[in-house]
Amino acid sequence: MVEHYGAGQPEYLRRGMSGCALQWMPVSGERSRMGRMDTTTARPFRFGAVVGTPDDLARWPTMAQEVESLGYTTLLLPDTLGTPSPFAGLAAAAVVTTTLRVGSWVLASPYRTVGEVVRDASTLQALSGGRFELGIGAGRPGGERDAEDLGMVWGSPGARVDRVEQVITAVREQVSPVPRIVVAGSGPRMMRIAGAGADTLAIAVSPVADAEAVRDVAHRARQAAGDRTAELELSLQITGFGDQIPEWISQRMGMTAADLIAAGAAGVLSRDMPKAVASLRHLREVAGVSYITVPGGFARALAPLVQELTGT
């Protein structure tokens, strides 16, 4: 079953929500010049569920089937030592589902060589019938501990970003069919890499970022994409549902649901479904965000919203 937040949750929730743990940068610049997106070309919504480890790993196939039945487009698996190995876990999910896409959320570039990623991505594309989405980033804060345990060199920020670019190039050249590629980040260089070679940019912003702040980052992403703007999908993770927030926000960042609500955080959805639907439509209208990722603990509760908005 899809995991819920609370006692006994998987290690990745206690340490900092998923392998993506998207690093965010403060947004600067003048917002008033950006205006709204052209809604006549808005992408249809899709949703991904970021899942953790069930108490009994034998239940993993059942969890994947449930995510598919709830209407989610993708099942997303973090890349940490506290969660299942992404490629093995996603392969197991792919063989028991039919339409559900499976994605890494996201691979930390220092944990594998370029050749390892190419080999595993090729295998998973074949096993899933082309349903794999390769999510990759330069590594979350604290990820150096996992790198050390894996016997890998964490490296400088620049070296880790170099590896991201090398992986994308190699996968596009050597994996067939080429999987969708998702880049997680918000820095100028990561945005340039996403703009040049990714299908999706997972926007990294503070949990308290409002729709205007998300719009600012989205604007920079579109500038980086240049002629590829129409091809680049934008993604945002949900950071709260009503008065509930993931433990990584409360424990690691010291924030409360009240803090996020008071800030007008774009990632917090109301428990009133019409309001939640309106919030996401507004976010797409002003920032162009159409791919919404949902913590596993909210997956069941948000299923009606997912079913209403997917494809619209």
Closest-CA residue to 10 (of 248, 238, 201)? 248
Q: Is residue 154 part of a domain?
A: yes
- Structural domain includes residue 107: yes
Is the pTM here over 0.85, yes or no? yes
**Domain range enclosing 70:** 11-24+41-309
Report whether pLDDT(6) > 80. Answer: no
Q: What are phi and psi of 247, to 5 degrees?
A: -65, -30
Domain assignment of residue 36, yes or no: no
Give yes or no for a contact between 288 and 61, defined as CB atoms under 8 angstroms apart: no
Q: What is the pLDDT of residue 119?
A: 98
Cα–Cα dist 292/302, whole Å: 11
Cis before 177 (ω within 30)? yes
Question: Is the residue at 33 inside a domain?
Answer: no
User: Helix 114-128 to helix 157-174 angle, to the nearest 10 degrees?
Assistant: 40
CATH number of the domain to which 245 belongs: 3.20.20.30
In a domain, 6, yes or no: no
Closest among 75, 88, 196, 202 to 138, alpha carbons compared? 202
The pLDDT value recorded for residue 18 is 40
Tens digit of pLDDT for each residue in 86-117? Answer: 999 999 999 999 999 999 999 999 999 999 99
State pLDDT tens for residues 43-79: 999 999 999 877 788 999 999 999 999 999 999 999 9
- List, in order, residues 6 or more apart from 225 with CB less than 8 Å away: 194, 195, 196, 231, 232
